Amino acid sequence: MSRPLSVGVAGLGTVGVGVLRLLRDNADVIGARAGRPVAVTAVSARNRTRDRGVALGGLRWFEDPLALAADPAVDVVVEVIGGAEGAARALVEAALSHGKPVVTANKSLIAVHGAELAAAAERHGAALGFEAAVAGGIPVIKTLREGLAGNRIARVAGILNGTCNYILSAMREERREFAEVLAEAQRLGYAEADPTLDIDGIDTAHKLAILAALAFGRPVAFEDVHIEGIRRVSALDIAFAGELGYRIKLLGIARRSDGGIAARVHPAMVPAGAALARVDGVTNAVVAEGDFVGRVVLEGAGAGAGPTASAIVADLIDLARGRLTPVWGAAAAELTPAPSAPMLQHVGCYYLRLMVVDRPGVIADVTAVLRDLGVSLESMLQRGRAPGEAVPVVLVTHETGEAAMRAALARIAALEAVLEEPVLIRIEPG
Amino acid sequence: MSRPLSVGVAGLGTVGVGVLRLLRDNADVIGARAGRPVAVTAVSARNRTRDRGVALGGLRWFEDPLALAADPAVDVVVEVIGGAEGAARALVEAALSHGKPVVTANKSLIAVHGAELAAAAERHGAALGFEAAVAGGIPVIKTLREGLAGNRIARVAGILNGTCNYILSAMREERREFAEVLAEAQRLGYAEADPTLDIDGIDTAHKLAILAALAFGRPVAFEDVHIEGIRRVSALDIAFAGELGYRIKLLGIARRSDGGIAARVHPAMVPAGAALARVDGVTNAVVAEGDFVGRVVLEGAGAGAGPTASAIVADLIDLARGRLTPVWGAAAAELTPAPSAPMLQHVGCYYLRLMVVDRPGVIADVTAVLRDLGVSLESMLQRGRAPGEAVPVVLVTHETGEAAMRAALARIAALEAVLEEPVLIRIEPG
């Protein structure tokens, strides 16, 4: 057996410790599959004394991650510090500039700086693995970049954030409101103390930007992703969705069309029988649609120390075996400069829910606005009667352009009988 | 860009033609992802004049596939002739012995002769790709061999035969009997004129043997797979399954335990909410359970020219990029010689359905047999009353050993009041 692959791990949080544990616990199978031992020899973290539940004896310790990257005895750097800037970015740039391969779980870094990092990796001939950055241990990066590489991908969509999916699942199952379920998720450790990145859709957008770049073979373009989170999803809308045969999911969706590549993150109504509708709790799932392969669905745990470590180690085994792939699936010169399609060009069906005063003529006013803007209705649902009081009205449209829909929404919101800001949820095939 | 990868395709049935078409239609994206053009330059088939709907001009034509393998201008041989013996086997052996890489869709060849072929590939330093052999375009081989390579896999299970899943789905949805649905599937082209390989579970067993070898890192052992097909599944049992909250699926299941590796193919009752229960029609799905990654589910089209070509081309792109992996995930010397666990050591829950004469004492006789053999019952279902006539009785057991269950079955079948051969279906977590 050849020389061991010497791994330096920067960051000893739960994921870093998970990598150490996995490489030790499964050293035999990993060595067999990698063709050589894969072992952590150096680590970097600030607090040297904290008990992390894993033996660190015999490992070289660097307080400065850049020193770890510079250590000639380290063959590959595992970056699990996190964050798009600061120490993580500096470390990855430094390692690549030394021609040293990097494996990272850092979705924001890859989504935001992936184009420059790919250029650096190509320039210095160093690999950059990031299977762990999207959907935990589910091999979605490998599937898009290698497994489906013969296909033109038309669409990739997924449930990419376990926190949001847990919250939406619990809201539906327990008929509870967002704020209450979020608080519970925070108590249970499924949501961060500051949940912004998750519930405002930013984490999903990071992952979607990565998937879209791989699926369509173009440089990553995080700044072009349209992002809406789940704060405004209510138990009422989840109940209406159920009545209409849908589930509400926070989806990341990227689609290629003549107008370019549209990438968007927003709550979506998905038919209850669709693959993505049935994915509940913290599970992640990705659907890819290729011209020859058809629809492929991948599902599994999207986060956690074990699944994330599994993805990082898969990248390390690829490196140990010398299985190399350009960061975005093709050399920079071979990527397509396909433009991003703006959200206002989106066409789809919409769910619109209003709270209106229950009195004659209100529906006529609302539907007149829709008619004037060329929005045609598929169905309307009005529940309960309470003359003079607020009642919900649900409208489902046929295919409509986003621009017309937004114009209609503004006019409807301005009607005197419309009491709250209208809720708009896009309908997706799932 | 480097020298093109020159591909020779042996066999011009629907899959071979699919490969030609995919490599032409998507030449731009394939070239970018492969880092060089991938082009068919030679083909082998018997009938030179048949119209296959694809242009064959400019390709070298070999009547003898062995001559194609020997052609020094062919870098890699794609074998889509089929069959575990004969021309396909001779071709693959010949190509590997020339040190020439082979990509094949041939599950029976790999399942039956995979150990020798892996040895030949290793000896001659030639790659052998077979992503297309299992589950069509779904990258299950890559997922087990690379994506989940850091894990110890405890269990892999799947719906691996679209024909059987189509038949069982249609039987349930349309409440029809096996023979009728099979005849229809044959008319529609979902089942072969001779459907034996599919409906008797042999095709599933070939694929399962391959998945088990990859999952557990041991040489393929097709002859140790326990195989039962779906001929005896009836509309009555499908209806009872529904009442009990199950779906009946033909599963291939391989599990590692202290006793060794158990691999079995049989109709199974799967809880209706489980991932595998919801896979209907010709779709395939595979569940893999790893110690760090947890459960990963992959789903997609399991057959057809497009999906199969997609998998073959993924293997070709790996070759073009120089991404190499030993046939069974590790060098022969690194595989575990884990023994196969015999079916008689299986432990699980069972569904047992009898047709008995409706008269006092029959149930007492049946349950006495079960008690005597230590089989404990979870539930019993008796439908309808027809004194003196045949009525169905359903028994569901707690965890029971296969040996005790078979002994009980033999004794129950011999009871005078039991009118038909009892039906036994194993219950699986899905």
Average pLDDT, chain B: 96
Question: From the CA of B34, how many Å to the nearest CA of chain A?
Answer: 8
SS3 content of chain A, % helix, strand, coil (to 5): 40, 25, 35
Taking alpha carbons only, the member of B246, B292, B301 closest to residue B425 is: B246
Task: Mention every residue, 6+ apart, whose C-beta is less than 8 A from residue A92.
Answer: A77, A79, A102, A104, A106, A109, A117, A128
Taking alpha carbons only, the member of B55, B117, B42, B111 closest to residue B83 is: B111
CATH architecture of A140-302+336-343: 2-Layer Sandwich (3.30)
pLDDT over 70 (residue A157): yes
Contact list, A307 vs chain B (CB under 8 Å): 292-294
Q: Tokens 């050849």 belong to which residue?
A: A2
Which whole number is the average pLDDT over A300-305?
A: 94
Q: A74 — phi, psi (to 5°)?
A: -95, 120
Residue A79 is predicted with a pLDDT of 98
Q: Are A167 and A234 in contact (CB under 8 A)?
A: no
Tell which B residues from 14 to 73 touch A, by Cβ distance under 8 Å.
18, 22-23, 25-26, 29-35
B295 — contact with chain A (CB < 8 Å)?
yes
Indicate which of A14, A22, A33, A173 best probes the interface with B, i.e. most B CBs within 10 Å of its own CB: A33
Q: Are A297 and A275 in contact (CB under 8 A)?
A: yes
Token digits of residue B381: 């279902």
Give per-residue pLDDT as tens, B220-269.
Answer: 999 999 999 999 999 999 999 999 999 999 999 999 988 899 999 999 99
CATH for A5-133, options being 2.60.40.2130, 3.40.50.720, 3.30.70.270, 3.40.640.10: 3.40.50.720
pLDDT band of A1, cuts 50, 70, 90: low
Indicate which of B14, B28, B33 best probes the interface with A, i.e. most A CBs within 10 Å of its own CB: B33
Q: Do domains B140-301 and B346-427 have the same CATH topology?
A: no
Give per-residue pLDDT as tens, A315-360.
Answer: 999 999 999 999 999 999 999 888 999 999 999 999 999 999 999 8
Distance CA A251, CA A265 (A): 6
Distance CA B58, CA B20 (A): 13
Characterize A363-376 residue by residue with b for buried, 16 or more Cβ atoms within 10 angstroms of its Cβ, and e for exposed: beebeebbeebebe
Task: Mention every residue, 6+ apart, whose C-beta is less than 8 A from residue B269.
Answer: B241, B244, B246, B247, B248, B351, B425, B426, B427, B428
Catalytic residues of B: 207
Strands (DSSP E) contained in A201-293 are 226-227, 246-257, 260-271, 283-290
Q: Tokens 């034996």 belong to which residue?
A: B196
Indicate which of B293, B298, B318, B321 best probes the interface with A, i.e. most A CBs within 10 Å of its own CB: B293
pLDDT band of B388, cuts 50, 70, 90: confident
Residue A387 is predicted with a pLDDT of 87
DSSP β-bridge partners for residue A377: A397
**Identity at A140, one-letter amino acid code:** V
A270 CB neighbour count, 10 Å cutoff: 25
pLDDT over 60 (residue B301): yes
Residue B383 is predicted with a pLDDT of 76
Domain ranges in chain A?
5-133, 140-302+336-343, 346-427
Pairing of the two strands A60-62 and A38-44: parallel
> How far separated are the first and last CA of chain A, in Å rounded?
47
Angle at A109 between CA B1 and CA A210, to 5 degrees: 55
Residue A189 is predicted with a pLDDT of 87
Of A84-93, A124-133, B185-194, minimum mean pLDDT range: B185-194
Share of chain A above pLDDT 90, in %: 93
pLDDT over 90 (residue A92): yes
Residue B1 is predicted with a pLDDT of 52
CATH architecture of B140-301: 2-Layer Sandwich (3.30)
> Whats the size of chain B, residue-wise?
430
Inspect the interface and report whether the beta carbons of A297 and B298 lie closer than 8 Å: yes
Give per-residue pLDDT as tens, B326-365.
Answer: 999 999 999 988 899 999 999 999 999 999 999 989 999 9
Pairing of the two strands B153-159 and B283-290: antiparallel
Residue A304 is predicted with a pLDDT of 93
Which whole number is the average pLDDT over A286-309?
A: 97
* Chain center to CA of B246: 21
Taking alpha carbons only, the member of A87, A93, A159, A160 closest to residue A120 is: A93
Q: Are B107 and B204 in contact (CB under 8 A)?
A: no
Give per-residue pLDDT as tens, B2-48.
Answer: 799 999 999 999 999 999 999 999 999 999 999 999 999 999 999 88
pLDDT over 90 (residue B277): yes
Angle at B347 between CA B376 and CA B370, to 5 degrees: 25
Pairing of the two strands A423-427 and A260-271: parallel
Residue B199 is predicted with a pLDDT of 97
B217 — contact with chain A (CB < 8 Å)?
yes
Class of A346-427 per CATH?
A: alpha beta
Residue A417 is predicted with a pLDDT of 95
Residue A430 is predicted with a pLDDT of 79
Question: From the CA of B12, how many Å to the nearest CA of chain A?
Answer: 18
> Whats the size of chain A, residue-wise?
430
**Identity at B153, one-letter amino acid code:** I
Tell which A residues from 331 to 350 touch B, by Cβ distance under 8 Å.
331, 334-335
At B378 the three-state DSSP class reads strand
At B1 the three-state DSSP class reads coil
* Residue of chain B whose alpha carbon sits nearest to that of A137: B293
Give per-residue pLDDT as tens, B77-136.
Answer: 999 999 999 999 999 999 999 999 999 999 999 999 999 999 999 999 999 999 999 999
At B207 the three-state DSSP class reads helix
CB-closest option in B291, B307, B317 to A149 = B317
